[in-house]
Amino acid sequence: MPDELLERLQRFTSEAFPTQRSLFRHLVDDGQHPLTLFIGCSDSRLVPYLLTGAGPGELFLVRNVGAFVPPYDQSQGFHGTAAAIEFAVLNLDVKRIVVCGHSHCGAIRALYGEVPAAAQNLARWLELGREAALPVAEPGAEVLRRTEQRAIILQLERLMDYPMVRERVEAGRLTLHGWHYVIEDGEVHVFDVSQRGFVPASRAENAGTGPYQPFWPGPSGDGAAGLDASGVPAGA
Ligand SMILES: [Zn+2]
């Protein structure tokens, strides 16, 4: 039986790599300088490079079940996502952090069901989305969509608890972006605080402002203060 994975590896070296050899050489000599930290769900249908048209060296990626951001609790455990956030912000000095959830997310659906008893780590991890869940037993498509979007806002808010993130956002050196990728439509909906909801990228005026944009000239002039996960409107 042919080893399909091995064949793919061989094809990369013989066919794909030669077309980008000089780019990789440059990225080795000059190091990586990605401007974006992309926190995405692990779902196989979410392909950050396709969505953004990014190439090598452009995205610093961290992916996990649900695209969740753990709390900055200083418990000093083996916190992979937190470590990636710290590295991206403090070492790489990224200018944007994208939190990208998506339609038909299994992590979000699992908030309304049960996970296998043996999946203790998964059960605990899903608690990071619990606040986004709505009080219904049998969620329909609309409830799931809203929960997916609320979970994204929740993670953006949690990012602001990281001192190095908050400091840079407040100084205007870092922006936060909430994205909801609708797989079946092939379109990302970006959270736009001035619209108080998610807007399809085709109609959006920017790539998402996050819930905290101190320079947003809102109607009351007070920016996005007060908008939280519960403030995400239905639909969008
Ligand atoms: Zn997912």
- What pLDDT is attached to residue 226? 38
Same-domain check for residues 131 and 149: yes
Give the Å distance between the CA of 231 and the centre of ligand 1. 22
Question: How does pLDDT run along the chain (236 residues), one tens digit per residue?
Answer: 889 999 999 999 999 999 999 999 999 999 999 999 999 999 999 999 999 999 999 999 999 999 999 999 988 889 999 999 999 999 999 999 999 999 999 999 999 999 999 999 999 999 999 999 999 989 999 999 999 999 999 999 999 999 999 999 989 899 999 999 999 999 999 998 878 889 999 999 888 876 555 444 444 434 333 344 444 444 43
- What pLDDT is attached to residue 210? 63
Which H helix or E strand runs over 150?
Answer: helix 141-159
Please report, for the domain that includes residue 83, its CATH number: 3.40.1050.10
Strand partners, 106: none
Total structural domains within the chain: 2
CA distance 220 to 184: 37
Among residues 234, 166, 216, the alpha carbon closest in space to that of 225 is found at: 216
Give the Å distance between the CA of 114 and the centre of ligand 1. 16
- What pLDDT is attached to residue 223? 38
- What pLDDT is attached to residue 108? 98
Give the Å distance between the CA of 151 and the centre of ligand 1. 11
Give the Å distance between the CA of 99 and the centre of ligand 1. 12
Same-domain check for residues 139 and 27: no
Same-domain check for residues 24 and 100: no
- What pLDDT is attached to residue 232? 45
HSE-CB at 233 with a 13 A cutoff on CA atoms is 11
Residue 236 inside a domain? The answer is: no
Give the Å distance between the CA of 198 and the centre of ligand 1. 17
Residue-range definition of the domain harbouring residue 24: 1-31
- What pLDDT is attached to residue 212? 58
What is the pTM for the complete model shown? 0.89
Give the Å distance between the CA of 221 and the centre of ligand 1. 35
